[in-house]
Structure 1
Amino acid sequence: MHEKLRHRIGFLVWNKFQFIQIQNILNKMPDATLIIWIKNELSLKTFRNFGNKYFNIRYVSTSNFKSLDLDFDMIVAQNRQPRGMNFKSTKYVMLQYSMAKDLTAYNIRWDLCDFGLVYGEYSFQKLAERCTVFKVGNPRFDDYFTGNHDSEVLEFIRNKLDPKKKTIAYLPTWGDLASRELFDQIEGRLREDYNIIEKAHHLSDTGVEINGEYTNLDKRFLQFVDDSLYILACSDVVLSDYSGVIFDALYMGKSVVLLRDKSIEVNLHKKVSSDSIEISKSHLIGPVVYSSDNLIREIENQLFKHHKYIEHNPKLVDECFECKENSVTKVIESLNKILDNDIENERLNVEKKRNIRSEYHSVAKGTLRTNTLRSIRIMKNALFKIRYTIFRVVVLTLNCSPFPKRYGRKVFSLEESILSSHNYFRVIALILDRSPFQKRISRIILSLDESSLSGKRLFADLLIEIFYRQQCYTEVVNVYKEQKVTNKLFSANLIKSLVKKNELTCVGFELEKYLSEMSLERSNLFHVYETAMSSVNYPNENRTRLRNERIINLEISNADQEAWQRILTNNGYLWKIEELELQGLLTDNVSERISELKKFQGDLLPYSVIAGLNNCTTLSEKKIVKGVRHLAYNELTGKVVVELNIPVSFFFVQNDENTKSVRRHLIEFYIHLIEDFVENEIPFMPILQFGWNVSPLDKDNYILSHHTRGGGDKHFHIKTSAIKGFVSFDSDGFAGWASIAEENLHCRERIDGISSTLSENTWEVAFYNIVAKNSSKYSQPEYGESGYTFKYIFLPLQIAVDLVASLSYITGSDLASFLVEKFRGSEYKVVVKRHPLCRSNETKELLEKLSNEDHVIISNNSIHELIKNASLVVTVNSGVGMEAILHLKNVIITGKADYFYGATLVKTIGDLEKHLDSNDWKKQNDVQLRKFIHFYFNDFLINAGSGEEVSERIRGIGL
């Protein structure tokens, strides 16, 4: 039955995918107009010969887009209006088209529309504070659920499939998140047992990513460029990565397997974040697979329903989608309510929002006058929630302002937490990139006296983005020199940033040359350079040649010999030191330093020498240790090599006893590792590790590296644990990047299956060796048995610049402020302890502020004493949380942590308050905590002093 329209309604599309989303709605609204926006050449090509007897069609270009205003009472679209255009009369309604990739699915377009139509409760909660939204389900699937879909299309597909085989539909996303390379590795094996239907992402179909691999597929594959609904209908299992088709499949009741590249850093990506639903709720979707070896097993589990996702999927679908049938009817009802102004409990006043949108567009046009001050005021407007876009407004205006210095100060007066998140500086770079005044504005902002050092470091990345695009390499160096930068941290960050791009390596060398003239920088310079170079995708032979030229084979005067020898020693080039010693050129002080190093590294030292030599040779010449023999890499055949990365920190002067103790345990682990390799004749290549970005010299090799994350299936990550004397050994990373730091069905089943007797024994041993002995990663005061007698919540703080702090959902300072406020006037005090290595002024100021509160105690007592008497331990993701679990305490975390299964994770202040109010945190579950402790010590940690444990874990990874 067709809906007779009382109003003039238009549906705007510019590509075929958008048309597919609204086709069912148009079929029920024949009086509506299909507006085809010829946005670019692709739009013209797609709709050039388009015609449909059921639809009224109107074509519009960007230049005359404004003509739509007044011609329609409402326009329903899936993208925002062109920049600078703002309808005054026509209501602009946004229609949801995907659940995936939060950063794009819920971007600025929702703030610039009048109303929104969303699938269900999840999206409603995402947008409720930004836009008046209606939950309507997904109208695209109405025909499927009512049985009115095209049976001829289904029959066409099924006739091409082998009825004796199950069918896998592979529908990847596009761009750098796509899993195509991983799929290519396994598709041949899958094809032997399954029908494979592959459909490229619609952006790939329509020209954004067209290339041979998408147009010349095997004839046994089916390649469609229209709706994926029929492909999903014919499938038994759906294989994808980060695509929105994941939720389409679940909506249709299909099982899903997620194939993903482990090396992708989701927290640094422009499209997704760890909060994106396809990542945060992956444990409810289906198994996440990172290698071809596990893919077949997981597909079989999904096919034969040998999994728990059967229970999880329906609940997730209910959260994501309002309904399955009658979605089109709900859309029409919602549109009529909007047009009749029959809306109750509207969250945002439309007129106020329209004024903000109008202001945004006027600034986006680049008008001068008072727009800079006005756009900065918008920054604080509570009605405009998206800081990302507001910042673009500020910089757009700054770009065309005659007073950039004045307004530049205002930009940098914004809180640092805003500046350092969401890639703001990359956005600014894209904008300033088009400005003829980019160099002038960049220099002015960089030179602002009021901007903080951290702000300048952030802005250094902006300079690189700008000048890289313009290939003004020397300009970066000039700006740097003009500021006469001498701060080591700033120098390190800028050099690292510069050499992240292969093309910018030459700029890094120019800066190196400049900094080498500064005596204060000389001792630190080459380590910075090496660290930076380790993150560059640079041919090993070229890197080796340049390293030899610039570090090893320098012509050094007698006066500079000791400084140079110290540089060589601190960076691990002991083989060169041995040469100098044989030549009688080694200074007394450096000779004494080498003696200390021999004592500190012990049996590791001979392999450290080889590691330094390997960093200065080409791949074919690198030394391989196999048993008691040393071979060149090109002499070894028939066996995979282990690339053993030895941290350059092992060569530093060990002044701090806490740090020295931690590194000593790590060295002990490395010694046991090498002993196992030698005994079992496993060939390994020692190489020096600078920085955390480690890539294989040969893709077939195993890699063992320290304090790293990501990489391939054969890359394993070593890190000193929060538990003294233990190291973590994991395939994904360390701490919050570890494979056990998020919900995983296999981990959960493993923990649940551990016997109570076994877990009790493990806990007793751990408790005796760690808690009872007051043992911690860093030395603690003596354990006072009495402790505090009052009730309290314990908050252990972390190092302010700790890398794992970037995994927080609630920051340490916000957490502290909330807890102090929450428990003011209650029976609980709040006890806070500063990290023993923290030197942050911000933390110092925070503690001074907190100490003025009557119910807050700043303590230096033993960590175990503070945990023992606490009613609850709350932390972001500090290692103290794991120590608290050994005490069988309830722990709340507000960030990703490797002890996730032993704690309660909360992501927002609101959720934290609800949890504390519920009193669930007072309930004890000692049995489950002991099971997790057994799992943690046996599946994740390795005793650094146990050669037997090291060997057992090495066998477990296939060596």
Structure 2
Amino acid sequence: MHEKSRHRVGFLVWNKFQFIQIQNILKKLPEATLIIWIKNELSLKTFRNFGYEYFNIRYVSTSNFKSLDLDFDMIIAQNRQPRGINFKSTKYVMFQYSMAKDLTAYNIRWDLYDFGLVYGRYSSEKLAERCTVFKVGNPRFADYFTGNLDSEVLGFIRNKLDPKKKTIAYLPTWGDLASRELFGQIEGRLRENYNIIEKTHHLSDTGVEINSEYTNLDERFLQFVDDSLYILACADVVLSDYSGVIFDALYTGKPVVLLRDKSIEVNQHKKVSPDSIEILKSDLIGPVVYSSNDLVREIQNQLLKNHKYIEYNSKLVEECFEYKENSVTKVIESLNKILDNDIKNERLNIEKKRDINFEYHSVAKVTPQMNTMKSIRIIKNSLFKIRYAIFKVVVVTLSSSLFPKRHARKVLSLEESILSTHNYFKIIAIILDRSPFQKQISRTILSLDGSSLSGKRLFADLLIEIFYRRQCYTEVVSVYKKQKVNSKLYSASLIKSLVKTDELTYLGFEIEKYLSDTSNVGANLFHVYETAMASVNYPNENRARLRNERIVNPDTKYAVQEAWQGILINNGYLWKIEELEIQGLLTKNVSERIGELKIFQGDLLPYSVIAGLNNCRTLSEKKIVKGVRHLAYNELAERFVVELNIPVSFFFFQNDENTKSVRRDLIQFYIHLIEYFVEHEIPFMPILQFGWNVSPLNRDNYVLSHHTRGGGDKHFHIKTSAVKGFVSFDSDGFAGWASIAKDNLHCRERIEGISSTLSEKTWETAFYTIIAKNSSKYSQPEHEESGYTFKYVFLPLQIAVDLVASLSYITGSDLASFLVEKFAGSEYKVVIKRHPLCRSNETKELLEKLSDEDHVIISKNSVHELIKNASLVVTVNSGVGMEAILHLKNVIITGRADYFYGATLVNSIWDLEKYLDSSDWKKKNDVQLKKFIHFYFNDFLIDVNSGKEVSERIRKIGL
């Protein structure tokens, strides 16, 4: 067959991409026929003036497609036959065209083929029971791997590129999975430092072409040269989303960054699913980026010579592709075996193939589930969508496949007045009392009060409320965003109640997993209770790692009661606890814990109770504190109130002294805030804060919230500072989101205007109260006066998944690897300290690897001791950087930080290397650093123990 085939072989294509896939094979089979299927207007336009000296060409329309049967012994194609056509004599061979989107790449159409040609082991295993397949690699890349790409075309593209810049190839998929909108947000910024070649998908609305900046090529190139190969050859890094080009890039050894829209629900998408290889194995491909802010950093990381995905990439390529240079030969060998009947294959009979064909078309149109979801999405009545979202979250929450229609109707018929308040939880809870699946759960808490339904209602209420915060908010917010709903259509409180949108709750990531198993609720409740302190700080040791001691014994008589009551406490349901206490239903352990909580919260406790109650009231019913009076919101004469968000973390059992100390500082600050409000009769509304997204209930109100950012001129953000005993108070946010974390003339003028005498006094106070006392946000080992005597650079690491880490231009792990390599063989050692709360296995493995180097020391000493004798401190944006500034050290940061004016910011490895190669980092300006320290303490931080400082800052914002 290689030289002269005695068989009549045809290669069927209907678009440019399919032709490019098989053109290398055709060149080796001069007697084979290229069958061009004029399927639609696109195929007609593409192949209208097509002519190649190497190929025999036959055109076929859909109406005469059946004529191919008997005219060919074998047809190799990349798509199914038209509906209703099943070849009786011709062998139909499927040729794989993409690795991505498993739902479409490996769907039922493979059952319609006699044989298949696939890239490698992964695809072969996917189709093991569907079709007889041969692993042949990807023949499209033959010229790439053999060095036979057209030098003229390569030269043309390279001449268009700036040789001083790295090149990004942006190759997105098509349709709603495409990332073009996200890319557009940062394209201009990227072009400043990179060459960008953009090629749209061949099925996208914008057509097939390289970005207009690179399209001055001849007609031949634009039409039938495999431009992707040339783009990959010129690229240093590939940026994509869900496209099959991801695997093309890995096949050619190019690093990949995945840019994806976080709002896409892969569980319900018609093209992709969580099992699709591009999603399932994302961690082997490259970093997944959901925002333009993170993209620059990840591109820089992937451009490193030894980026962290190299080993993973090679293993994935080995799994996906069997051959490289000899792929065309393997294809021809496989086709010969098929034609010579060397492979036994039980062909499906005509009847069975007809049935499968019919089934395929039915599935291809729409599945019943997709049809239902589609109907829901296109309903114009947005209120019904919200009702459906609530109905859906109840079903999902309780893992039920059965939701009786009579109950569904009740949920969906709730009045708008109920939906627009928090009270519909209770309405649904009442409905659930009479539903079969709810009883499976409520049965486990009958010991609370076996003679009534109140316990069941309370528990159902709690479950729905928990899951509402995690799932339903996302659903409803999505509806509002997509439909651009006029807020006047609904009561304001409905929209405002979405403040805990899709951020994590303090109940932990895996609460859904624990509580969804209705057959084991009793035991799982203990896990729910014990993971109430779950945190993103522990991604690699169970996403909901236990940070509490096991304070519930599952074997005791009242274990379930204690677990359930513990959940109520952790969520600020103190008024419900009080109801149980009055009824004598509190267990001994919980009573003791309430006692500890009262001591821990101190004067804040009465307002915490009001906050919890307010979260279950309509806006007009919420309680406002004005002086010593408590009023309903609709009774208030003032135009505004202060919405005081109290974090639910204040209710957690604290068994860690570091955490307890931080919480204590925050509570003390809140108490001073309340004292000021009460003294000056400023009306304020205590409400519970469950997540990191907070929106005002009324736009005229002032809002004070913890660990938040953004929100407008009247929204102020509170966060414990890197300096122990202080909190930051800022209108933009905290840490790298704060107003002082970016360059602006006002701040610079303010710093320059501070007198040296005043700044010297502020620094001396900070030195003796913080440095001299070895004081830090987290407790430190005893201060050893001697310290290290050799020259070294100090790198304090952070928690890898800490929220502020997203503001890094160079990650902590990449920074550590670079510094170790940079100072190898120099007079400087590298001293690294791990964050005391870091539990990342990845960080642990990195430090174990780096510690093998002679010039690297992994230290557990006090940060003040390590800073004191360091020649330089380098960090991403750790709070230790600010402590180093108090030591008057030169500090380099590789991410946005609130001590920006006291440090040197670098935003790439290359800039960092350039800076270290200069002598600038050895120069000091103590006068300027002291001026910044004065500014930082007086304009940004507040002493939590100083009621006077709190009052002065609150007055400055107009209260």
Q: What's the TM-score bracket when you normalise by the shorter of the two chains?
A: 0.5 to 0.7
Aligned residue in 2 for 1:230: none
- Cα drift, residue 835 of structure 1: 0.6
In 1, are the aligned partners of 2:873 and 2:881 still within 8 Å (CA)? yes
Pairing 1:810-889 to 2, within 5 Å after superposition: 810-889=810-889
From 465, 475, 487, the counterpart of 1:501: 475
- Cα drift, residue 956 of structure 1: 0.9
Pairing 1:758-769 to 2, within 5 Å after superposition: 758-769=758-769
Q: Which amino acid aligns with 2:690?
A: F
From 514, 517, 525, the counterpart of 2:516: 514
Identity of paired residues, percent?
62
In 1, are the aligned partners of 2:774 and 2:864 still within 8 Å (CA)? yes
User: Is residue 2:277 matched to residue 1:408?
Assistant: yes
Pairing 1:682-761 to 2, within 5 Å after superposition: 682-761=682-761
| SS of 1:518 mapped into structure 2 | helix
- Cα drift, residue 907 of structure 1: 1.0
Q: 1:919 to 1:386 in 2, by over 3 A?
A: same
In 2, are the aligned partners of 1:833 and 1:860 still within 8 Å (CA)? yes
In 2, are the aligned partners of 1:572 and 1:688 still within 8 Å (CA)? yes
Q: Which amino acid aligns with 2:941?
A: L
- Cα drift, residue 496 of structure 1: 2.8
- Cα drift, residue 740 of structure 1: 1.1
Pairing 1:538-557 to 2, within 5 Å after superposition: none
- Cα drift, residue 870 of structure 1: 0.4
Distance 2:743 2:242 in 1: 46
Distance 1:841 1:513 in 2: 27
Q: Which amino acid aligns with 1:712?
A: G
User: Is residue 2:946 matched to residue 1:946?
Assistant: yes
Distance 1:817 1:466 in 2: 51
In 2, are the aligned partners of 1:873 and 1:891 still within 8 Å (CA)? yes
Cα root mean square deviation, aligned: 5.2
In 1, are the aligned partners of 2:872 and 2:921 still within 8 Å (CA)? yes
Aligned residue in 1 for 2:173: none
| SS of 1:705 mapped into structure 2 | strand
In 2, are the aligned partners of 1:726 and 1:942 still within 8 Å (CA)? yes
Q: TM-score, normalised by structure 1?
A: 0.53
Q: Which amino acid aligns with 1:381?
A: T
- Cα drift, residue 480 of structure 1: 8.2
- Cα drift, residue 419 of structure 1: 3.4
- Cα drift, residue 383 of structure 1: 6.1
- Cα drift, residue 381 of structure 1: 3.3
In 2, are the aligned partners of 1:873 and 1:889 still within 8 Å (CA)? yes
Distance 2:241 2:940 in 1: 52
In 1, are the aligned partners of 2:643 and 2:702 still within 8 Å (CA)? yes
Distance 1:943 1:951 in 2: 11
Q: 1:585 to 1:470 in 2, by over 3 A?
A: same
CA deviation string 1:218-274 (max 9, x = no partner): xxxxxxxxxxxxxxxxxxxxxxxxxxxxxxxxxxxxxxxxxxxxxxxxx9982566x
- Cα drift, residue 474 of structure 1: 8.4
- Cα drift, residue 745 of structure 1: 1.9
- Cα drift, residue 68 of structure 1: 10
In 1, are the aligned partners of 2:645 and 2:688 still within 8 Å (CA)? yes
CA deviation string 1:870-916 (max 9, x = no partner): 00001111000000000111111111111111111111111110010
Pairing 1:105-116 to 2, within 5 Å after superposition: none
Aligned residue in 1 for 2:627: 627
Distance 1:786 1:608 in 2: 47
User: Is residue 2:664 matched to residue 1:664?
Assistant: yes
- Cα drift, residue 469 of structure 1: 6.5
Structure 1 unaligned regions, length at least 5:
1-59, 72-83, 85-112, 133-266, 282-315, 317-333, 341-348, 367-371, 427-449, 451-463, 483-490, 533-556
In 2, are the aligned partners of 1:130 and 1:385 still within 8 Å (CA)? no
In 2, are the aligned partners of 1:496 and 1:529 still within 8 Å (CA)? no
In 1, are the aligned partners of 2:558 and 2:587 still within 8 Å (CA)? no
From 404, 419, 437, the counterpart of 2:288: 419
Q: Which amino acid aligns with 1:129?
A: T
CA deviation string 1:843-882 (max 9, x = no partner): 1111111111100001011100000000000111100000
From 270, 286, 306, the counterpart of 2:182: 270
Q: Which amino acid aligns with 1:514?
A: S
- Cα drift, residue 522 of structure 1: 2.7
User: Is residue 2:269 matched to residue 1:381?
Assistant: no
| SS of 2:804 mapped into structure 1 | helix
Pairing 1:86-485 to 2, within 5 Å after superposition: 129-130=167-168, 270-271=182-183, 353=230, 376-379=247-250, 381=252, 387-388=258-259, 408=277, 412=281, 414-415=283-284, 418-419=287-288, 421=290, 477=396
Q: Which amino acid aligns with 2:661?
A: S
In 2, are the aligned partners of 1:943 and 1:949 still within 8 Å (CA)? yes
In 2, are the aligned partners of 1:515 and 1:522 still within 8 Å (CA)? no
User: Is residue 2:784 matched to residue 1:784?
Assistant: yes
- Cα drift, residue 793 of structure 1: 0.5
In 2, are the aligned partners of 1:492 and 1:528 still within 8 Å (CA)? no
- Cα drift, residue 635 of structure 1: 0.6
User: Is residue 2:936 matched to residue 1:936?
Assistant: yes
In 1, are the aligned partners of 2:514 and 2:524 still within 8 Å (CA)? no
- Cα drift, residue 801 of structure 1: 1.8
Q: Which amino acid aligns with 2:749?
A: E
User: Is residue 2:594 matched to residue 1:594?
Assistant: yes
Aligned residue in 1 for 2:957: 957
Q: 1:941 to 1:845 in 2, by over 3 A?
A: same
User: Is residue 2:901 matched to residue 1:901?
Assistant: yes
In 2, are the aligned partners of 1:890 and 1:903 still within 8 Å (CA)? yes
- Cα drift, residue 69 of structure 1: 8.7
CA deviation string 1:902-935 (max 9, x = no partner): 1111111111100100121111011111111111
Distance 1:519 1:126 in 2: 64
Distance 1:512 1:712 in 2: 38
Q: 1:858 to 1:469 in 2, by over 3 A?
A: farther
Distance 1:772 1:280 in 2: 48
Aligned residue in 2 for 1:215: none
Bigger shift: residues 716-725 or 507-516 = 507-516
- Cα drift, residue 530 of structure 1: 14
Q: Which structure has the greater CA radius of gyration?
A: 2
In 2, are the aligned partners of 1:467 and 1:475 still within 8 Å (CA)? no
CA deviation string 1:181-232 (max 9, x = no partner): xxxxxxxxxxxxxxxxxxxxxxxxxxxxxxxxxxxxxxxxxxxxxxxxxxxx
Q: 1:639 to 1:561 in 2, by over 3 A?
A: same
Q: 1:837 to 1:467 in 2, by over 3 A?
A: farther
Aligned residue in 2 for 1:190: none
Aligned residue in 2 for 1:577: 577
Q: Which amino acid aligns with 1:353?
A: Y
Distance 2:855 2:49 in 1: 60
Q: Which amino acid aligns with 1:699?
A: R
Distance 2:693 2:292 in 1: 20
Q: Which amino acid aligns with 1:418?
A: P
Q: Which amino acid aligns with 2:516?
A: Y
In 2, are the aligned partners of 1:781 and 1:862 still within 8 Å (CA)? yes
| SS of 2:691 mapped into structure 1 | coil
Distance 1:115 1:637 in 2: 75
In 2, are the aligned partners of 1:130 and 1:384 still within 8 Å (CA)? no
Q: 1:610 to 1:127 in 2, by over 3 A?
A: same
- Cα drift, residue 671 of structure 1: 0.4
Q: 1:858 to 1:733 in 2, by over 3 A?
A: same
- Cα drift, residue 841 of structure 1: 1.0
In 1, are the aligned partners of 2:875 and 2:892 still within 8 Å (CA)? yes
Structure 2 unaligned regions, length at least 5:
1-39, 52-77, 79-152, 171-178, 194-212, 220-225, 296-318, 320-368, 378-391, 402-464, 480-497, 503-509, 536-556
Distance 1:853 1:529 in 2: 40
In 2, are the aligned partners of 1:830 and 1:855 still within 8 Å (CA)? yes
CA deviation string 1:371-430 (max 9, x = no partner): x7x862423535686655999xxx9xx9999x997x839961643752355699x9xxxx
- Cα drift, residue 825 of structure 1: 0.3
Q: Which amino acid aligns with 1:617?
A: R
Aligned residue in 1 for 2:637: 637
| SS of 2:705 mapped into structure 1 | strand
- Cα drift, residue 355 of structure 1: 7.7
